[in-house]
Amino acid sequence: MKLTLKMFHLIAALIVVSMILSACGAAATEAPATEAPATEAAGNEGAVGIVAWPGYIERGANDPAYDWVTAFEAETGCKVTVKDAATSDEMVQLMNSGEYDLVTASGDSSLRLVYGGSVQEIDVTKIPSYGTVDERLQNAPWHTVDKNGDGTPEHYGVPYQFGLNVLMYNTTVFPEPPTSWAVVFEPMDLPDGKPNKDRVQGYVGPIYIADAAVYLKAHKPELGITDPYELTEEQFQAALDLLKTQRTIAPKYWGDYLLQIEDFKNEGFAAAPSWPLQVNLLQADGQPIASVIPDEGATGWADTTMMSSKAPHPKCAYLWLEHSLDPKVQGDVAAWFGSNPSVPAGCTASELLTADGCKLNGFNDFDKIYFWKTPIAACGNGESNCVTYDRWTEEFTAIVGQ
């Protein structure tokens, strides 16, 4: 199956991990990347700096088949450099520095960047391919905001990829797929007859509180949780109590995907929330690993490429935003990362993704995903009594640090 070939491409990333990208480039034009040869380049800054999740911007250094940077540089003269970020909080810090042009922001950081003045409104008329973006994402609330209060939401980014936070598990421990997140939240014996204590993990970011809320939404309906990111004080405390219970059985909260891979290979972990990327890499390495979306549903991420309000290279940044929507680029990114393209045509434009790639990566599970977004005081019921992200950070840090 072609997907297996993709997985073997992915494992090369473990051998040569070099995510700070560099390239050669000359000056370039403002024309879309697909139209302007470098020999005619003139009028742009010749560089673009991007803060990105690991694996999101590849130039073929890890595997020659996965390269969506080299052609862009040749066509535009814009040299691409990348700064990897392991968490959304790190992305916010890096973008606040003003040193970078773009960031592939997840929903738990995008509103912070918008309301903090760190990113600027995007003129989608400068991005000819914007109309090809999945209609489910074009005006999503994590990047389309009426910040100026004129009644018309403004765009603050271009959708890049989306995916799920899956439940990854060891198939020797679970002969049958687990059906509930309970295996990582509640003390219990696993199917191999051994306790789950010290064999499960959580995710290191404060946004993981939402995963606890998703679980409680299904198992404690009396709490009245409707949105796992809009929690009243009572609902928030219930989620914290569940995480405190989890802390008694979970010795680690992963943040670095490579370290989680090593944990599952060498440290005897049996189950954890994860990304499809880790699942693919472990399977490519012959490990007894699979993943599932539990009955309660799952959180997920819809990442948006946003431009710094202090972008030093805005012309090249706009050229990259257009390039990022190329269907083959979209499909290749999805194949490498285990995500889904924000442009539906990406599902068939990439030989690396294969015809079944989008289905396997959850493209049709969109409605099952509780997409990350920044918790703010305004609740969906019109009131302003929800717990804000600063409290999420404070309380989560206290739990994980115990």
Q: Which tens digits make up the pLDDT trace of 122-142?
A: 999 999 999 999 999 999 999
CATH code, 197: 3.40.190.10
- Convert the pLDDT of each residue in 336-384 to its tens digit: 988 999 999 999 999 999 878 998 888 998 988 999 988 989 887 778 9
- Convert the pLDDT of each residue in 23-72 to its tens digit: 333 333 344 444 444 434 558 999 999 999 988 999 999 899 999 999 99
> Is 365 part of a structural domain of the chain?
yes
State pTM to two decimals: 0.78
The DSSP call for residue 206 is G
Please tell me the distance from the alpha carbon of residue 41 to that of residue 38, in angstroms, as a whole number.
5
Q: Give the mean pLDDT of 237-244.
A: 98
**Residue 210: alpha-carbon gap to chain centroid:** 15
Q: Both 23 and 153 in a single domain?
A: yes
The answer to whether 114 touches 307, Cβ cutoff 8 Å, is no
Q: Both 201 and 250 in a single domain?
A: yes
> Is 282 part of a structural domain of the chain?
no
> Is 386 part of a structural domain of the chain?
yes
Indicate the number of domains in the chain: 2
**Residue 252: alpha-carbon gap to chain centroid:** 20
Name the β-bridge partners of 145.
154
- Convert the pLDDT of each residue in 317-340 to its tens digit: 999 999 999 999 999 999 998 899
Q: Both 55 and 185 in a single domain?
A: no
Q: Both 159 and 173 in a single domain?
A: no
Alpha-carbon dihedral 312, 316, 320, 323, rounded to 10 degrees: 170
Please tell me the distance from the alpha carbon of residue 103 to that of residue 303, in angstroms, as a whole number.
9
> Is 83 part of a structural domain of the chain?
yes
Q: Which of 5-14, 143-152, 172-181 has the highest mean pLDDT?
A: 172-181
Q: Both 151 and 179 in a single domain?
A: no
Q: Both 315 and 394 in a single domain?
A: no
Judge residue 387's burial from the number of C-beta atoms within 10 Å of its C-beta, 0-12 exposed, 13-18 middle, 19 or more buried.
Answer: buried
% of the chain exceeding 90 in pLDDT: 75
Q: Both 43 and 133 in a single domain?
A: yes
Question: Residue 230, Cβ neighbours under 10 Å: how many?
Answer: 22
Closest CA to 347 of 365, 356, 10: 356
The answer to whether 47 touches 81, Cβ cutoff 8 Å, is yes
> Is 285 part of a structural domain of the chain?
no
**pLDDT computed for residue 402 by the predictor:** 59
**pLDDT computed for residue 356 by the predictor:** 87
Chain position carrying tokens 């370039």: 28
Question: Residue 311, Cβ neighbours under 10 Å: how many?
Answer: 22
Q: Give the mean pLDDT of 169-195.
A: 98
The answer to whether 254 touches 228, Cβ cutoff 8 Å, is no
Q: What element of type H or E holds 320?
A: helix 314-323
Q: Both 247 and 382 in a single domain?
A: yes
* Amino acid making up residue 82: V
> Is 281 part of a structural domain of the chain?
no
- Convert the pLDDT of each residue in 215-231 to its tens digit: 999 999 999 999 999 99
> Is 57 part of a structural domain of the chain?
yes
Closest CA to 164 of 127, 211, 229, 205: 211
Please tell me the distance from the alpha carbon of residue 221 to that of residue 215, in angstroms, as a whole number.
10
Please tell me the distance from the alpha carbon of residue 33 to that of residue 318, in angstroms, as a whole number.
9
The answer to whether 12 touches 281, Cβ cutoff 8 Å, is no
> Is 279 part of a structural domain of the chain?
no
Helices 276-284, 2-15: inter-axial angle, 10-degree rounding? 90
Please tell me the distance from the alpha carbon of residue 346 to that of residue 134, in angstroms, as a whole number.
10
**pLDDT computed for residue 44 by the predictor:** 94
Q: Both 361 and 227 in a single domain?
A: no
Q: Both 6 and 113 in a single domain?
A: yes
The answer to whether 253 touches 259, Cβ cutoff 8 Å, is no
Q: Give the mean pLDDT of 94-110.
A: 94
Q: Both 240 and 387 in a single domain?
A: yes
Find the domain containing 396 and state its range. 166-274+374-400
Q: What element of type H or E holds 298?
A: strand 298-307
Closest CA to 162 of 21, 366, 321, 359: 366
SS3 167: strand
Radius of gyration of the chain (CA): 21
Q: Both 193 and 124 in a single domain?
A: no
